[in-house]
Chain A
Amino acid sequence: MNPKHEIVPISDREKKLNDWLKKPGGRLGHITSIDGKQLITLVLDTETGSSFCWETPIEHSTYPSLTHTVPQSHWYERTVWDMFNLTPTGHPRLKPNLLHESYAPDLVPLAHVEVNSLTAERRQYKPMEVTGEGIYEIPVGPIHAGIIEPGHFRFSCMGEVIFNLEIRLGYVHRGVERQMCSVPWRHQRFIAEAAASDSAAANAYANAIAIESLCEEATTARAEYLRSISLEVERLSMHISDLGGLAGDIGFLAISATMSRLRGSALRIGELLTGSRFQRGFICPGGVVSDPASNLMQIQKMTKQLQIELKPVLQFFFNNQVANDRMEGIGRVSPRLAIDFGLVGVAGRASNIDYDVRRHFARGVYRQDEIAIAIETAGDVMALARVRAREIETSLYLIVELIDRLPEGTVRVPLPEKLKSNQIGLGIVEAHRGELLHLIFTDNDGGVKRYAIKDPSVNNWTGLAISARNNLVTDFPLCNKSFGLSYSGHDL
């Protein structure tokens, strides 16, 4: 499963990537660097479930930007500029992504090369200015009105209609990737979980897969099942929470209150499985830390009960005319743009992208169990809500089904202290928001020299900005809730 390494000279990179994206199943996984001396382009083949790691040596810290032909690279190139001081020449809107003005200009957190004479100018952030008669701006954040993470939204509007939305992130950049390299690998999972705790199981899972691949060890069948159940419980509770939030923003409070109560049941299921409402500290490299054998019957019972309780609530929601009117045709992202910007997860599937890591990079349990992928074509708030509702059903089914088929045996295999040296490890998981990647590079001694995380939100934030265009300001909360993105997962 580990990506095949390949040296791609800078002159070939653009053509090669464009060709890759044109072929069926070709996806861009990530663009980053190891230490500032090269560019790493991770590409995926969803048809064969394989991946390639293209290494492009860089001299003089500059390279030609690919944003003009591969729009989805715009965001990665900004991050690489912040973290490695590699400048993408010709980037149409180069500005910082993760590091704000408050950081010293010569701080280049992940580079291991000499950087000299960096000025404060590079930290300056200029939002795009929309001009014209009657255009005005609404700035929101970084601290939001609700109980959510920080980020800055700048709406350029004409009357009630949004012309452009610029999203500025980085407020919760905590330095996760560098911290990951400073601890022994067996402690990494705790930082990975805290990177975005609403995806704790997914992050721990991706870390475990990547580390196991670097040990060339596999875990037991039972542990593989338990991890998948854990991932489905996480998806279940977050999808319930996101649909409830959507109902709340429509003003359908009976639904949102019921959903937040039912989310409590989903969290309780997670607690029975792992001992923690957010399933923290359960999945580890080598397996899982404990076997919830004695709780499995109760988990199944509660899941079936939740299935019964959720059904009418979802029906009330989707059959309500007002709710329909608020969701249909709002926040549309066309399939073309969804592909160009590499949208993943629920947002991708709502815009007709048939991609689900559980099926395309199938491992363990999902191999025998075809995942019914929920696909919609409209790309609007309604489509996203429908995909979520159908995935709730799939997750409920899977939890019960996987427990029925759970193999006997132990749940953890011992792993060596040291990882294989000079290797690349990849962990890829379908988190509730979509494709989550953990990419690890080891050094000569088997230490971790670079730990890269690509949260699904990295792809989808641009999707949200697109969805808001030409919609009413008052509909933005619905677009936002339908995407349900993570700030901390993006900012790391």
Chain B
Amino acid sequence: MLKLFGYLLKQGVATSGDYCAPLAEGVIGLPKFTDEVCAGTSCGACQTECPTQAINVTESDGKPDVTLDLGSCIGCAVCVRTCPTGTIANDNRTKVASDTRLDLIVSSTSKRTTSSNTTPQGIFERSIAARVVSTGCSACDLEIGACNNAIFDMERFGIHIVASPRFADVLLVTGPVPKAMHSALKSCYEAMAEPRIVIAVGTCAISGGVHKNGYTEANGVDKILPVDAYIPGCPPHPWSIIDGIRNVMKRK
């Protein structure tokens, strides 16, 4: 045992003090628009290649406009690699959460950056209890789990995971919520005391991701429950998850 303590002491502090550090060089995040002008509908390469139909290229008065739904995007970087004009580039930010579904739809002509309207001194400002319901592929869950490890250590921000909806202030839902989970998710939500918050974690939870429009009706959480915040990414980075929860904590 003493040797173990010795080993642990030698490892030092692993916790990262760099809140929402940008992704390292070469790491793929969500796509973003640059100032380069798109080649228009005659190109449309990104739209054809995007596996989740997240991109739409249109033209009005001969001016090309590209819209991109970050809530459908799985961050595969295919658009970034195919775009010949450099209109779409990799976004290395980890602050990506947003309050509304619409905020996740960005456009190349009117660049709306996803942001969150927060007022200080929300009721959960100092501490919030979160219950996780997984309905997806487990990567989102593993990233929520990683938020709890020594590196991200989300407990220091007052966020802790609880094992019952009865103790929870916020419900973190991952995965597209296929039909067999509809009623279980609803009853979990109903078991929570008010005020209660729902966060859709990950692209599946936001829109169904690659599973949307199938016979299992796996089209995301907001088809089942009112959603208060969205954290895009497939899976979202642990910093994005922590930041998304912090945003709702600050809300009145």
In the assembled complex, which residues on chain A have CB atoms less than 8 Å from the CB atom of B215?
107, 109, 175, 178
- Cross-chain contact of B214 among A179, A313, A486, A487 (Cβ < 8 A): A179
Q: Which one, B31-39, B63-71, B182-190, is touching chain A? A: B182-190
Cα distance A137–B2 in the bound complex, in angstroms: 43
In the assembled complex, which residues on chain B have CB atoms less than 8 Å from the CB atom of A100?
179-180
Cα distance A6–B150 in the bound complex, in angstroms: 55
Which of A229-281 touch B at CB < 8 Å? 241, 254, 257-258, 260-261, 263-264, 271-272, 275-278, 280-281
Residue of A whose beta carbon sits closest to that of B81: A289
Asked if A31 CB lies within 8 Å of chain B CBs, one says no
- Cross-chain contact of B181 among A103, A150, A275 (Cβ < 8 A): A150
Q: Which one, B110-118, B137-145, B223-231, is touching chain A? A: B137-145
In the assembled complex, which residues on chain B have CB atoms less than 8 Å from the CB atom of A187?
51
Q: Which one, A85-93, A193-201, A334-342, A415-423, is touching chain B? A: A193-201
Cα distance A143–B27 in the bound complex, in angstroms: 33
Q: Is the CB of A172 within 8 A of B149?
A: no
Q: Is the CB of B141 within 8 A of A278?
A: no
In the assembled complex, which residues on chain B have CB atoms less than 8 Å from the CB atom of A486?
138
Cα distance A148–B175 in the bound complex, in angstroms: 11
Q: Which one, B96-104, B203-211, B243-251, is touching chain A? A: B203-211
Interface size, chain A (Cβ < 8 Å): 58
Q: Is the CB of A241 within 8 A of B149?
A: no
Q: Is the CB of B7 within 8 A of A194?
A: no
Cα distance A281–B30 in the bound complex, in angstroms: 13
Asked if B42 CB lies within 8 Å of chain A CBs, one says no
Shortest B90–chain A CB gap in Å is 9
Q: Is the CB of A197 within 8 A of B134?
A: no
Residue of A whose beta carbon sits closest to that of B237: A277
- Cross-chain contact of A261 among B139, B151, B163, B209 (Cβ < 8 A): B151
Known: A179-B210, A258-B11, A488-B137. A102 touches B144 (CB 8 A): no
Shortest A168–chain B CB gap in Å is 10
Q: Is the CB of A190 within 8 A of B151?
A: no
In the assembled complex, which residues on chain A have CB atoms less than 8 Å from the CB atom of B3?
312, 316
In the assembled complex, which residues on chain B have CB atoms less than 8 Å from the CB atom of A487?
138
In the assembled complex, which residues on chain B have CB atoms less than 8 Å from the CB atom of A183?
51
Cα distance A147–B188 in the bound complex, in angstroms: 14
- Cross-chain contact of B163 among A146, A264, A295 (Cβ < 8 A): A146
Known: A147-B145, A196-B137, A280-B75. A175 touches B24 (CB 8 A): no
Q: Is the CB of B216 within 8 A of A175?
A: yes
Asked if B77 CB lies within 8 Å of chain A CBs, one says yes
In the assembled complex, which residues on chain A have CB atoms less than 8 Å from the CB atom of B204?
194
In the assembled complex, which residues on chain B have CB atoms less than 8 Å from the CB atom of A260?
145-146, 148-150
Q: Which of B24, B135, B138, B176: most chain A CB closer than 10 A?
A: B138
- Cross-chain contact of A174 among B81, B150, B188, B211 (Cβ < 8 A): B211
Cα distance A489–B150 in the bound complex, in angstroms: 28
In the assembled complex, which residues on chain B have CB atoms less than 8 Å from the CB atom of A147?
132, 134, 141, 144-145, 161
Known: A143-B184, A149-B141, A280-B76. A173 touches B216 (CB 8 A): yes
- 16 residue pairs of the A-B complex, CB under 8 angstroms, read A99-B180, A143-B133, A143-B188, A146-B163, A147-B132, A150-B133, A171-B184, A176-B211, A179-B214, A190-B76, A191-B211, A194-B211, A197-B234, A278-B139, A312-B7, A488-B138
Give me the interface of A with B, judged by CB distance under 8 Å.
99-100, 102-103, 107, 109, 142-143, 145-150, 170-176, 178-179, 183, 187, 190-191, 194-198, 200, 241, 254, 257-258, 260-261, 263-264, 271-272, 275-278, 280-281, 289, 295, 309, 312-313, 316, 486-488
Give me the interface of B with A, judged by CB distance under 8 Å.
3-5, 7-8, 11, 14, 24, 26-28, 51-52, 74-78, 81, 132-139, 141-146, 148-151, 161, 163-164, 175-176, 178-184, 188, 204, 209-211, 214-216, 218, 234-235, 237
Given contacts A174-B216, A278-B139, could you give 13 more A-B pairs where the C-beta distance is less than 8 Å?
Answer: A143-B184, A147-B132, A147-B144, A148-B138, A150-B135, A179-B211, A196-B138, A198-B138, A254-B4, A278-B142, A280-B76, A487-B138, A488-B136
